[in-house]
Structure 1
Amino acid sequence: MSGCPTRTPSVPGPVTPEALRATLGAFASGVVIVTAQGPDGPIGFTCQSFSSLSLDPPLVSFSPSRSSSSWPRIRAVGRFCVNVLAADQEQHSAGFARSGADKFAGVSWAPAPSGAPVLDGVGAWIDCTLWNEYDGGDHTIVAARVEALGADPQRLPLLFFRGGYHLTPREDA
């Protein structure tokens, strides 16, 4: 078959969390920050499990960890914004991945139509309402209805690949 690897895959062994992480790390993903405006102020967390789900109705999905302390607070609001990070926003990814800190300290943002924070300089934003949730093992699979959105075509995405951040091919050239 044309384009198939010429080497034989290794003999399968047990699927350990380490083996799964190492193998799936070969798939590059973007990085998003999910935000909401809670009763006590803005809430947010970093997530790299994000994707388009449906065009009709317009749905996206993401998968927060079951151990997330931010997702239950955002779920309670029911409206949130997915911020697609741009290539120069690695510091936001790290900052919003922390627990117990003021994640919005020094971060500029404006409200989306829902009131959820749209972080300044993101490549795109998707304002959503909670559609449904599904069991995803140690994560929750969230389906969200897209209510409003916008993108800056000049901003390149922040990519996560094999355990680290990488430049997009256009930046590498």
Structure 2
Amino acid sequence: MITTKPKIYKGLLIVFSFLLLASCKTYLAPTYNQVIVDKATEATTETYLFLATVAGGSDNDTYFRRESTYNTLISKFETLNLLAKARPIPSNKTTQRINNLLAERNSPSSSSDYPSAFAFNRIVENLVKMKEKDQASGLNPIVVEAFKGEIEIFLDQAITYESFLKR
């Protein structure tokens, strides 16, 4: 009879430990934010509309007509970058192990920007370069297409990542 009590206690301890651990969650990504997705969708639509208006090229003499659109788009993507970065980056043993493995391979760690924040920042950089080129000498259709291609890559990355968080 003495041997059954330790077995019962051991069994209860195992069940209690399992229940305790089962209630723990490990977060490897930020929580989904509908505001970021909505604002990203809106900014994407406006960006494609703007790119369509300059697709045939532009003359620097008419740059003043487009300046406010550039400024609006840049500010929208800077805001999205800020919103994406404002979420806390999870820190736990799992993310530390991932970062250690990435460091061993000389890859950027996951504790840097979220992919969407990185992408929003790159969109801003491209719009700023496009704005400067437009102001200095205008844009020819090939240059517009090159900027569009680069911006499109980062729009896809940001929207894909933010949509994926809705799990």
Question: Under TM normalisation by the shorter chain, which class is it?
Answer: under 0.3
What TM-score results when the alignment is normalised by the length of structure 2? Answer: 0.23
User: RCO higher in 1 or 2 (8 Å CA, sep ≥ 6)?
Assistant: 2
What TM-score results when the alignment is normalised by the length of structure 1? Answer: 0.23
Q: Which has the larger radius of gyration?
A: 2
The structure that is strand-richer by fraction is 1
The structure that is helix-richer by fraction is 2
